[in-house]
Chain A
Amino acid sequence: MNLKVENNILFVQTNLDKFNVSELKEQFLRLKKSRELQGVSVIDLEAVQEIDSAGVALLDSFQELLESEAKLLLMRGASASVRSLIETFSTTKLEFVEVPKPTGLWETVGESALNFYQMMVTALTLASEIFYYSLVGIFSRKTARKGSLIQQAFILGSQALPIVALLSFIIGFILSLQSGMQLKNFGVGVFLADLLSITMVREMGPLITSIIVAGRSGSAIASEIATMEVTEELDALRMMALHPIKFIVVPKFHAITIVMPILVMFSILVSQIGGAIIAVGVLDTSFENFVARSINILSIKDIIISFSKSIWFAWVIVIVGAFYGFQVKGGAEGVGKATTSAVVTSIFAVIVFDAIFSLLYL
């Protein structure tokens, strides 16, 4: 058989000329009859060294015969001379396509590793630029518009307060309820304050707040920058001799560095309220005792760890959001993809860094 069907591709394994086209057409009709051609939309011509006008007419007839089964018939693998002849003699406007050959395992692994390396280089370059311009921005007036820091602090901080409060309260409440009941069984319900305080300050406060901010503000940063890229606003800034990182990212970076520790502090306080309700209502601990134990159990180190985490996570969220924003390709679809990737990556990165922090500062 000189015609073979594999993976919805029709492979022609011989030259196509006036001496064999009749036989090939019969083979083709047999394949059609046995329904082997169903779903075929590409003809592979890599094995065809020579073709004449009869061969092209055969390809045209393939196209006509396949019409009911595949709307589009594309050619691949044709040499330059074969392609030239097809273009000259074809009456059905056969189209050519470069179908990539399947790659091997090592090629795929190598390509992925290279792409990851390039992505990391771009991300680290962006991060270093953001750190540099943020540092310069503290001392220089002319990097961003007046009032942009307050505006960003309001957007990234104040507007996140209600959702941070609600979720922190619920988590404080649930944590206290679950652990409080266990502690009560051992007659040490009074230690709920200690447990909740340490958990919220060292782990859950920074983590929950960062995840909320990543979902809320990380996505907003990515979509804002991506939309600006798509609508040429970033080019317009460059044309005004303004650096997009200085003008757009730095105010957000400064603002989030200030508001994140405040949000975390707020989250810890609200979660303690949730815990206090359980402690007072279910475990019969006095409110004064709960507050006193919550404060006394904490050391300066705990508070420093909590604040360092919150600032570090805040930076991760801005850098990841900006990275995906600047990397956007395409139109509205690209903006959507960038936003989704930014949220997923920043939450992932926050959790990974939290784990690293926890291991480093046990």
Chain B
Amino acid sequence: MSSIKPVIRIKDLVAKYGDLTILKGITVDIMPHEITVILGSSGCGKTTLLKNMLRLYEPFAGSVHFWDENVLEMNEKEFDEVLKKTGMLFQGGALLNSISIYDNVSIPLEMHTNLDKDLMDKIIKVKLKLVGLSHAMHKLPAELSGGMRKRASLARAMALDPEILFFDEPTAGLDPITSESLDALILTLKKQLNMTFVIVTHELASIHRIADKIIFLDSGEMLFCGTLKEAEKAGIPQMDRFFKVGKF
């Protein structure tokens, strides 16, 4: 039996929108220093799972443990401390549009640390360099391409050196070359910073490039959790069809 403890432990998670049940009792462990990809067809509950585990939506039932602490029982202040150890890249980047990229990355540092201006400046520049946006730091989000906005959002998510990074459809809407470079960046970060990644996507090429483990959802149910190789041998018709149709 492995002695490595999961960083996130989800048990019997049920999510509903009104009377409609979206997630029907998901139980899964996310292991540290791995890239876990949540995949499935559109509307299967991938983003709902991500947002429920982060309390952006309140789950209907179940528990979500981060580092052995049930976040659903935490008060706002306690949960803030958990959030400070995580970061998230949203599908559209979700950068604050009225301020520059530099200022966007500075927000978590300004609000949650007592660093002096000089140190803060150094950190922001390092993070922007890491995502290849040193040249665009004073631009507004609206002046950037989709790929650049996602990279800027990644720099902001990494501002406080989080232990877990969440991605909601990081490569959606990007061309294959930009997608590949974003995946390469994720792999580099994993290698260099030993972070844990939870990525929601249905881009097969991306899954093959980065996934250590996949969680396959279908109509709100988890049908599979394991490696890609195990997935190929699992003989789950919905998942086999997903991989087969997605091949080009």
Contact = CB atoms under 8 A, between A and B. Distances in A.
A240 B83 contact: yes
Contacts of B157: 239
Contacts of B200: none
A238 interface: yes
B58 interface: no
Range of interface residues on chain B?
20 to 34
Interface string B42-73: 00000000010010100000000000000000
Interface stretch (B15-23, B87-95, B226-234): B87-95
A: contact size bracket:
10 to 19
Interface stretch (A229-237, A272-280, A334-342): A229-237
Contact of A241 (B56, B84, B96): B84
Contacts of B156: 236, 240
B198 to A, nearest CB: 13
Contacts of B86: 239
B150 to A, nearest CB: 12
B107 interface: yes
- Give the residue among A146, A228, A235, A247 with the most B Cβ atoms within 10 A: A235
Contacts of A142: 111-112
A35 interface: no
B121 interface: no
A145 B94 contact: no
Contact of B54 (A145, A228, A232, A239): A239
Contact of A232 (B83, B91, B108, B110): B91
A235 B83 contact: no
A87 B208 CA distance: 39
Contacts of B88: 236, 239
Contacts of A238: 56, 83
Given A142-B111, A145-B107, A239 B56 contact: yes
A231 B56 contact: no
B188 interface: no
Interface of B: 51, 54, 56, 76, 80-81, 83-84, 86-88, 90-92, 94-97, 107-108, 110-112, 153, 156-157, 166
Interface of A: 142, 145-146, 227-228, 231-233, 235-236, 238-243, 247
24 contacts: A142-B112, A146-B110, A227-B97, A228-B96, A231-B92, A232-B90, A232-B92, A232-B94, A233-B94, A235-B51, A236-B88, A238-B56, A239-B56, A239-B83, A239-B87, A239-B157, A240-B83, A240-B111, A240-B112, A240-B156, A241-B84, A241-B112, A242-B108, A247-B111
Q: Which 8 A-B pairs have the closest CB atoms?
A: A236-B94, A241-B80, A232-B94, A241-B83, A239-B88, A232-B90, A240-B108, A233-B94
